[in-house]
Amino acid sequence: MKLGEIYRIAVEKGMREDVRSEAELAHVLDAARKEYDKLDEDEKQFFDTERLTNPYSDTRICVGDPQMEVRGLITGIDMEVGEVVLADRLRANGATIDLILAHHPEGPGYANLHEVMYMQADLWAAQGVGIAAADALIAPRAEEIRRRIMPVNHYRAIDAAGALGFASMSCHTPADNSVNAFVLKHLETESPRTLDDLVKSLRHIPEYADAARKGYGPIIVQGSGSGRCGKIVVDMTGGTEGPKEALDRLSAAGVGTLVGMHYSEEHRKHAEKLKLNLVIAGHVSSDALGMNLVLDEIESKGVEVHCVSGMVRVARNA
């Protein structure tokens, strides 16, 4: 399977599972096209043309010809220099590894992570928050993340992969969209009444059950186990954690429980004041679930998959 085909499978999976409508995604791509067309010729070299067909700035081929054949890949939640060296050792011992596939973005995907955060406004709007207020809430938070990421050595692991002859790619928001949609559908089917019921329901999903056995499974961080869930919102996509002020709007819109990958202590304390329930499903386990849903479509094409760095393979393509 060609590297470019793996990339397109990931992007298209993300678009199918996006919280935004097809019309909104088309608008995002059209806006990128208009921005590009307005640039002077000497400025176009600095424009990321992947934005014309891919609405996820954190999902990119970082190293490698899109036409190269990928027989096998190694994947994990974080694929840093240590994992790249591990991939080289496994390859030396006979493993078929052509591609390093990271979930958390590297290179250009990390440098531009903030750009995917704006989709959080659409997630909140779907719950009854005014879109104007949602846009106003997410913009300063996205800029804060952009400034925080700027000093990072974005290409460290990418350069290591290239030096050892591997292709490299990151798949972030498409996987997060996938887990968000999957968990939402699961909870809608099981309809947990209380927070304890919700945690038990999450443990019915293999990735969360595995995490629970390892000591980092789903947990209630705000609210009582016997308390009723009320309206449940799954909050697992959009780059990284949004502003705590969004909790005010969601609570006012009638949301009773948020289910997320992770929440800061600042967010937890704010939710406590609002009497808004918070359940952490698990960060690494949620990432693994999202990646598994993408990998199902890649592995079915005959690509060999090796898992490290928190990635537990659960196939659903049988």
Q: Render pLDDT for 98-113 as a digit per residue (tens, 0 to 9).
A: 999 999 999 999 999 9
- Which whole number is the average pLDDT over 82-89? 99
Per-residue pLDDT reduced to its tens digit, 261-311: 999 999 999 999 999 999 999 999 999 999 999 999 999 999 999 999 999
Print the domain residue range for 257: 179-285
**Same domain, yes or no, for 43 and 189?**
no
Categorize the per-residue pLDDT at 31 as very low, low, confident or very high, splitting at 50, 70 and 90: very high
**Same domain, yes or no, for 281 and 187?**
yes
**Same domain, yes or no, for 167 and 194?**
no
Categorize the per-residue pLDDT at 318 as very low, low, confident or very high, splitting at 50, 70 and 90: low
Per-residue pLDDT reduced to its tens digit, 154-200: 999 999 999 999 999 999 999 999 999 999 999 999 999 999 999 99
| 210 part of a folded domain | yes
**Same domain, yes or no, for 243 and 120?**
no
**Same domain, yes or no, for 157 and 187?**
no
Per-residue pLDDT reduced to its tens digit, 285-294: 999 999 999 9
**Same domain, yes or no, for 116 and 78?**
yes
Instruction: Burial-class residue 129 by CB neighbours within 10 Å (0-12, 13-18, 19+).
Output: buried
Inform me whether the pLDDT recorded for 234 exceeds 90.
yes
**Same domain, yes or no, for 192 and 297?**
no
Q: Which two tokens stand for residue 119?
A: 């989709």
| 318 part of a folded domain | no
**Same domain, yes or no, for 219 and 72?**
no
Half-sphere exposure of 294 (CA within 13 A, CB side): 36
**Same domain, yes or no, for 9 and 49?**
yes
Report the number of distinct structural domains present in the chain: 2
Strand order in the sheet with 167-170: 60-63, 167-170, 99-102, 72-76, 304-307
Inform me whether the pLDDT recorded for 56 exceeds 70.
yes
| 273 part of a folded domain | yes
**Same domain, yes or no, for 127 and 209?**
no
**Same domain, yes or no, for 16 and 132?**
yes
**Same domain, yes or no, for 154 and 44?**
yes
Inform me whether the pLDDT recorded for 127 exceeds 70.
yes
